[in-house]
Amino acid sequence: MNIPSIPLGDWIESGLTWLTSEYSSVTRAISRFTQTGIDVLNDSLMWLPEWALLGLIALLCWKQAGVRLAIGAVAGLALIWNLGLWNPMIETLTLVVFATLVAVVIALPVGIAAALSNRLYRLIMPILDFMQTMPAFVYLIPAIPFFGIGSVSAIFATVIFSMPPAIRFTTLGIRQVPVELIEAADAYGATRSQKLFKVQLPLSLPTVMAGINQTIMLALSMVVIAAMIGADGLGSEVWRAIQRLRPGDGFEAGIAVVILAMLLDRLTQSLRKTRRS
């Protein structure tokens, strides 16, 4: 007995075709706005001389995490500069920063709402499970019909891929605030917004920062993968090395990605510790 297969793929393709045709003006406007933001941030970082930006990053590391991270940042960034990968590193940093900002702006309100509403919490958790178990490459597929080849599609795929941790940790942090403190705020007549902004969010900030840290790491990994759809940066250097069978160049770009990941990870962890103290 032959059981007819469900045409799920056809339904998805039809849905994407309908969305791209009906909302093409919206996607074009989003694409122009996003590309402008990417260009402005990238040009601003490129405008600074290499030594000046390196010094600013080292100063930030020293202020936030101490002299050890500052020395490590100088050594790592100097190596990237020496390898001739400074401009691709800046392009990757631009995409990561932009995608993380968009993801956090979306994730924080959603996480707060899920923490305050049990019904929304039960609805959104399976969606986050689905998003986190979906292979990263799959997110590149719907990005192309909406925004074409390039950095905008990379931002779209990166935001979707990196959002779940920020939502989860925001929800978790607020839900872990001790009930006694909430009851004390109620006893003093605090409104719902006062409890949120003066009790729940400040106490949950270290957990929220942990979620943002994970979002940054996922964004960096996705930006590298997004080189397959035309995103610039270190990922494109890796992809070019694969295409040309030049493993040395690929390892150099991979080392640069590791240095950037470690630097961003240590910086966000230091911010988390600062907020906790």
User: Domain coordinates of the chain in residue numbers?
Assistant: 16-47+83-276
* Percent of the chain at pLDDT exceeding 90: 16
**Mean pLDDT, residues 98-115 taken together:** 92
Helix axes 247-276, 201-225, angle to 10 degrees: 170
pLDDT score for 272: 64
**Mean pLDDT, residues 266-273 taken together:** 76
Q: At residue 273, does pLDDT exceed 70?
A: no
CA distance 124 to 65: 35
* Percent of the chain at pLDDT exceeding 70: 97
List pLDDT tens digits, range 210-244. Answer: 899 899 988 888 888 888 888 888 888 888 888 88
List pLDDT tens digits, range 107-123. Answer: 999 999 998 888 999 99
Contact indicator for 170, 128 with CB cutoff of 8 Å: no
Contact indicator for 108, 273 with CB cutoff of 8 Å: no
pTM of the model: 0.87
| Single-letter residue type at 245 | L
**Mean pLDDT, residues 147-158 taken together:** 85
Which CATH code for domain 16-47+83-276?
A: 1.10.3720.10
- Give the pair of three-digit tokens for residue 170: 């925001």
**Mean pLDDT, residues 248-252 taken together:** 88
